[in-house]
Amino acid sequence: MPEFDTPYYLLDEQRLARNLAIVRRVRERAGVKAVLALKCFSTWGVFDLMRDSLDGTTSSSVYEARLGREKFGREVHAYCVGYRPDEVREAVRYADKVIFNSLSQLDAFAAECRDRPVGVRVNPGFSYSHYDLADPARRFSRLGVTDRAALRRAADRLDGVMFHFNCENADYRAFERQLRRLGREFGPLLRRVRWVSLGGGLAFTSPGYPLAKFIRQLADFRREFDLEVYLEPGDAVVTQSAELVVTVVDVVHNEAEIAIVDASIEAHMLDHLIYRTSPRLRWPPPGPHEVIVAGRSCLAGDVFGRYRLARRLRPGDRVRIADAAGYTMVKNNWFNGLAMPAIRVRRANGRIETLAEFDYRDYLDSLSRRCVSAHDSQ
């Protein structure tokens, strides 16, 4: 493999294809649809690999809705926690379905949607998440409608509903209980609409996940309520399909051996910092030598993790950080003015293609641009 300058993300087409084959199997055998959650992964340079395995995209903003329309080109679900009036009008240009977060936004903007099917997000009052920060049904959650009486009154104005209530749920039995509870508690509403989205956060592409049971459960739910059923996979589509490739630039000692690499967990794998988790390393392999791998930003806590490796790290060594696709590239930032990792993909034939590279001009333009306006010219 050629030695590209680091840091860079490396997507692997074959690993991505494995996940997509599972998504395709679920869609075909359960008779459900799947739309890619762009909030998790928006690297449109590989949409050509994904398009035949998914029905479209789902968005959390107008920009994501536009990206889905222009770059993916299939069904577009436009959702936003809070639309401005001008944003609704723009979202309608790109969307096949418009989903509101509240009944007040439905009341305010449904007329703007013209012939587009409309729905609302429902907070069912239960969820699955390892982290309170990501729990859609946490106390005081603003995500979705909680007033069930008001939902019943609004049902005739709705074409569909969305329940997004999972985060990193690899527990099939937990989802089975959730779906049965949805049927019991929201059955009358489900029988009055034409489609339902069950959201994302389901790790059904994980090794060992009971796919046959998952498929059967989805198919039974679809038939029971005579609905078009959507899933919104994000991380399930791209899990384990990418690495962040970095180089050790220094090794320092302070009670422990600390290898500093030419990337930053705050700037380039932010979710791990937010949730206080450590990514796995794909290279070097494990072994007896303990080392802390740290980023080179000025944040004291910019630490990828503590590892035991087959050999000591030295300046110039490459380190490959695993699972760097979901919620990584979409959260990149320019903290400390650190170089943004390039984005590359290893094709099935082994050839590596560069999708994007970034330089000082991108950093400069992200902070200010000289825009000539009428006010400036006076």
Mean pLDDT by 10 residues, the chain (378 residues): 86 97 98 98 97 97 98 97 96 97 97 94 96 93 96 96 95 96 97 97 96 97 97 97 98 97 98 96 97 98 98 97 96 96 96 97 91 54
Q: What distance in Å separates the CA atoms of residue 210 and residue 216, rounded to the nearest whole number?
A: 10
Q: Pull the structure tokens for residue 157.
A: 């104005």
Q: Do domains 13-238 and 239-367 have the same CATH topology?
A: no
101 phi and psi, to 5 degrees? -85, -20
Positive or negative torsion for Cα 173, 205, 135, 110: negative
Whether the CB-CB separation of 29 and 362 falls below 8 Å is answered with no
Note the pLDDT of residue 376. 53
31 phi and psi, to 5 degrees? 70, 30
Note the pLDDT of residue 235. 97
Tell me the pTM.
0.94
Which has the closest alpha carbon to 97: 85, 122, 82, 80?
80
Note the pLDDT of residue 3. 80
Which fold, 13-238? TIM Barrel (3.20.20)
Note the pLDDT of residue 114. 84
Q: Where are the domains of the chain?
A: 13-238, 239-367
Q: Pull the structure tokens for residue 23.
A: 């998504």
Kindly state the DSSP code that residue 179 receives in the 8-state scheme.
Answer: H
Which fold, 239-367? Lyase, Ornithine Decarboxylase; Chain A, domain 1 (2.40.37)
Note the pLDDT of residue 369. 83
Q: What distance in Å separates the CA atoms of residue 219 and residue 233, rounded to the nearest whole number?
A: 17
